[in-house]
């Protein structure tokens, strides 16, 4: 299949693209390159594929002509970042996503895989929640994903099959590693500071999933018969991989020798707590066979970080934290307040 991946230069995209290529698909990318300065060398080198350097808010049907499928990953991808400017978040994560889906449909693309999120469930407590459960997002990020799903579903018809993949919180090594997600962050604290630094009281429930397993879920949804996936949502993860954050911390403590567990002074319960039922994807998409668990993931990160020269200011600062990086780009006026690059840096916008 000829597949366009938006957000292909991000944390998940840079791991997903080689997996799609390996499966025999012809892959191209589209990304504005918000994190072009954030490559993490110990995570490997991103695959080079033909790509449009473009903002999704400018996408037109002509950009998507000739593709069989679009995998839409491009977004502002976490809760704190989305709260920086909720209006910009909605413009990219909601309206921008709907724009890409509408353009894809107009261009004759037949399958549209949307990277949604288990954050849609927000405040749902300790009972397992499946795809039919109530959506209670607690951030602009969660709301933007719920709104995008709603509007993109309305585009579905006999010729256009939207699919909504809702991954758990990701972890794992990537050439565009993010240090703002729980396992990646805790292992970095443990390796560099000999401390596992908890930002909440450790009680919230959070399912986690490796980015290679997320990629394999997208591949399974890409290749499945349309009638199995048409306009359906799939939680992406494994039901036995719902953890309380402190359990994740205990795995890190067992992986990294000589570190201690520490709670932030203002640590309180994190409002985002949900336990997710992942049985549907296992049942409906048997080609999705997840390979990773938190123990293997912590070991992978421990080995990559050890001896790499990683510092606290790198992984808690603008170099590798999405929100700090964006703040720095704004403060230095490298991008404007709508998170756009100047025309000279992003010429595709001028020609759109």
Ligand X SMILES: NC(=O)c1ccc[n+]([C@@H]2O[C@H](COP(=O)([O-])OP(=O)(O)OC[C@H]3O[C@@H](n4cnc5c(N)ncnc54)[C@H](O)[C@@H]3O)[C@@H](O)[C@H]2O)c1
Q: Which is nearer to ligand X, 255 or 321 (CB)?
A: 321
**Structural contact between residues 106 and 63, judged by C-beta atoms closer than 8 angstroms:** no
Q: Strand pairing of 161-167 and 232-236? A: parallel
> How far is 210 from 279, CA to CA, in rounded Å?
17
Closest to 52 (Cα-Cα) out of 37, 40, 67, 39: 67
Q: Is 344 exposed, middle or buried (0-12, 13-18, 19+ CB in 10 A)?
A: exposed
Token pair of 49 as six digits? 């594929």
Token pair of 57 as six digits? 């808010």
Interacting residues toward ligand X by CB under 6 A: 7, 9-13, 31-35, 55-57, 73-77, 92, 96, 115, 117, 167, 169-170, 176, 178, 181, 322
Smallest distance, Å, CB 303 to ligand X?
21
Smallest distance, Å, CB 169 to ligand X?
5
Smallest distance, Å, CB 194 to ligand X?
26
> How far is 67 from 337, CA to CA, in rounded Å?
32
Q: Which is nearer to ligand X, 259 or 273 (CB)?
A: 273
Q: Strand pairing of 242-244 and 205-210? A: antiparallel
Smallest distance, Å, CB 138 to ligand X?
15
Angle (CA) 252 258 262, round 5°: 60
Smallest distance, Å, CB 58 to ligand X?
8
Q: Which is nearer to ligand X, 25 or 145 (CB)?
A: 145
Q: Is 149 exposed, middle or buried (0-12, 13-18, 19+ CB in 10 A)?
A: buried
Q: Which is nearer to ligand X, 140 or 249 (CB)?
A: 140
Smallest distance, Å, CB 88 to ligand X?
9
Closest to 42 (Cα-Cα) out of 347, 253, 300, 227: 300
Q: Which is nearer to ligand X, 32 or 124 (CB)?
A: 32
Q: Which is nearer to ligand X, 167 or 259 (CB)?
A: 167
Q: Which is nearer to ligand X, 211 or 251 (CB)?
A: 211
Token pair of 34 as six digits? 């918000």
The residue sitting closest to ligand X, measured at its beta carbon, is 10
Token pair of 38 as six digits? 């954030």
Q: Which is nearer to ligand X, 55 or 213 (CB)?
A: 55
**Structural contact between residues 315 and 268, judged by C-beta atoms closer than 8 angstroms:** no
Smallest distance, Å, CB 118 to ligand X?
7
- What is the DSSP track for 246-296? HHHHHHHHHHSTT-EEEE-TT----S-EEEE--HHHHHH-TT------HHH
What residue has token string 């929100």?
323
Smallest distance, Å, CB 211 to ligand X?
7
**Structural contact between residues 232 and 111, judged by C-beta atoms closer than 8 angstroms:** no
Q: Which is nearer to ligand X, 100 or 259 (CB)?
A: 100
What residue has token string 């809702």?
166
Smallest distance, Å, CB 262 to ligand X?
23
């Amino acid at each position: 299949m000829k597949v366009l991946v938006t957000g292909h230069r991000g944390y998940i995209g840079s791991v997903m693209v080689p997996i799609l290529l390996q499966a025999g698909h012809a892959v191209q990318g589209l990304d504005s390159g918000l994190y072009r300065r954030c490559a993490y060398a110990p995570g490997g080198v991103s695959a080079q594929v033909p790509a449009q350097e473009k903002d999704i808010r400018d996408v037109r049907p002509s950009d998507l002509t000739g593709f069989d499928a679009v995998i839409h990953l491009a977004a502002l991808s976490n809760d704190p970042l989305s709260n920086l400017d909720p209006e910009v978040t909605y413009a990219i994560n909601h309206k921008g996503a709907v724009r890409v889906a509408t353009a894809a449909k107009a261009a004759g693309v037949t399958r549209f895989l949307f990277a949604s999120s288990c954050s849609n469930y927000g405040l749902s407590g300790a009972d397992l929640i499946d795809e039919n459960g109530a959506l209670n997002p607690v951030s602009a990020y969660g709301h933007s994903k719920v709104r995008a799903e709603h509007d993109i579903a309305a585009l579905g018809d006999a010729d256009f099959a939207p699919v909504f993949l809702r991954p758990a919180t990701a972890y794992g090594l990537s050439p565009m590693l993010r240090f703002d997600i729980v396992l990646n962050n805790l292992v970095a604290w443990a390796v560099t500071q000999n401390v596992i630094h908890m930002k909440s009281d450790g009680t919230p429930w959070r399912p986690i999933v490796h980015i290679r397993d997320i990629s394999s879920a997208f591949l399974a949804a890409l290749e499945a018969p349309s009638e199995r996936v048409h306009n359906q949502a799939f939680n992406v993860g494994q039901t036995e991989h719902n953890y309380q954050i402190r359990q994740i911390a205990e795995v890190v403590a067992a992986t990294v020798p000589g570190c201690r567990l520490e709670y932030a002074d203002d640590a309180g319960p994190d409002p985002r707590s949900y336990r997710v039922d992942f049985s549907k994807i296992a049942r409906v998409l048997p080609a999705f066979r997840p390979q990773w668990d938190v123990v293997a993931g912590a070991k992978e990160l421990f080995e990559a970080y050890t001896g790499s020269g990683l510092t606290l200011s790198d992984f808690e600062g603008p170099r590798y934290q999405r929100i700090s990086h964006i703040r720095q780009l704004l403060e230095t006026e490298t991008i404007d307040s709508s998170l756009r690059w100047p025309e000279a840096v992003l010429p595709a916008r001028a020609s759109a």
